[in-house]
Amino acid sequence: MTLPLDTSADADRTQIEVYRRMGGAARVAAMFRLNHLARRAAMAGIRSRHPDYDDDQVRLAFARLVLGDEWVRRIWPDRELPAP
């Protein structure tokens, strides 16, 4: 496993140990919280790069990042794809 660039080795080991001690439900809850935070951060980045985008354009731009253009075009074939 690769050590994150913004984390010391001790902090990384401690975090892994904490996750190991959590029960399954707590790990799943933590995963959903982290996913939510990552999604919000990505969408905030899109908004900062494109302040003129409305909410729908931000969601489509985010979908491009997550799903890729091919799938976004399959799901929304008639929509213009905003830049992420």
The two structure tokens encoding residue 41: 């951060």
- What is the mean pLDDT of the segment spanning 8-19? 89
Handedness of CA 37, 40, 46, 51 (dihedral sign): negative
Q: How far apart are the C-alpha atoms of 11 and 15, rounded to whole Å?
A: 6
Is the pLDDT score of 27 beyond 80? Answer: yes
Residue range 21-32: mean pLDDT, rounded: 92
* Domain edges within the chain: 9-75
Statement: residue 58 has pLDDT above 80: yes
d(CA 50, CA 83): 9
Cα–chain-centroid distance for residue 33? 11
Q: What φ, ψ does residue 74 adopt, rounded to 5°? A: -70, -40
Kindly state the percentage of the chain with pLDDT values over 90.
Answer: 76
Rounded to the nearest integer, the mean pLDDT of the chain is 93
- Which pTM value belongs to this model? 0.74
